[in-house]
Amino acid sequence: MGRDVTVDATGLPIRPQPDGSDVRKTIAAELAAVVEAVALSFYEDPIFRWIGPDDRRRARELERGFGLFARRVWFPHDETYTTDRLIGGAFWMPPGTWHLSMFKQLSMLPAMAVITRGDLVRLLRLLNAIEAKHPHEEHYYLPVIGIRPEWQGRGFGSALLRPVLDRCDGERLPAYLEASSPRNRALYERHGFAVVEEMRVSDSPPLWRMWREPQR
């Protein structure tokens, strides 16, 4: 294991290990903590402020909404990564798994309506637009990645990207995602993603569709 001499009172490093040894797949018992961390990371996100403009409700909606998609869609593919601290997560989908059947979409709709209430229409418009633009070439898809706000800016987002991006390079496969803020877009650009389109849904903030070719 790599060593980071800067640690906190618990003995855990305050930055990711250079060798990636503190990033691993999430297990079921950790999923709630990872979802909470990711939901917190999106509280001030422009797109999610547009979907859920009520500051008093947005945190709860994000946690319950991400929890629903994590349990029903993302986590079952066994490509969800976190850190030893459980301060964030990256939910990847392997090639050929991004599209949800109509049955799956309809089965999730009642829970989505309960969670989002009056915000459901904006959410569905965004999800439909995202799906309509999704590329059909074989690729790894990153629907969501996030780090708790107090841990951002220390390299943990990059560390969470690394396992699957390394696999993309090794398998000679591209990766795809949608960036929902300029800060996230800049992070992805540093890791080889390029913007293929800036899109908006009605009066929403911009969302950037980003594609990454294998790097070696």
pLDDT in tens, 28-86: 999 999 999 999 999 999 999 999 999 999 999 999 999 999 999 999 999 999 999 99
3-state secondary structure the chain: CCCCCCECCCCCECCCCCCCCCEEECCHHHHHHHHHHHHHHCCCCHHHHHHCCCHHHHHHHHHHHHHHHHHHHHHHHCCEEEECCCCEEEEEECCCCCCCCHHHHHHHHHHHHHHHHHHHHHHHHHHHHHHHHCCCCCCEEEEEEEECHHHCCCCHHHHHHHHHHHHHHHHCCCEEEEECCHHHHHHHHHCCCEEEEEECCCCCCCEEEEEECCCC
pLDDT confidence tier of residue 5, bands split at 50, 70 and 90: very low
What is the domain partition of the chain in residue ranges?
Answer: 23-212
Report pLDDT digits (tens) over 109-164: 999 999 999 999 999 999 999 999 999 999 999 999 999 999 999 999 999 999 99
Whole-model pTM: value is: 0.92
Cβ atoms of residues 6 and 13 within 8 Å = yes
Q: What are 168-179's pLDDT values in tens digits?
A: 999 999 999 999
Residue 53, pLDDT score: 96
Res. 11: pLDDT tops 90 = no
Q: Which CATH class is domain 23-212?
A: alpha beta
Note the pLDDT of residue 38.
Answer: 98
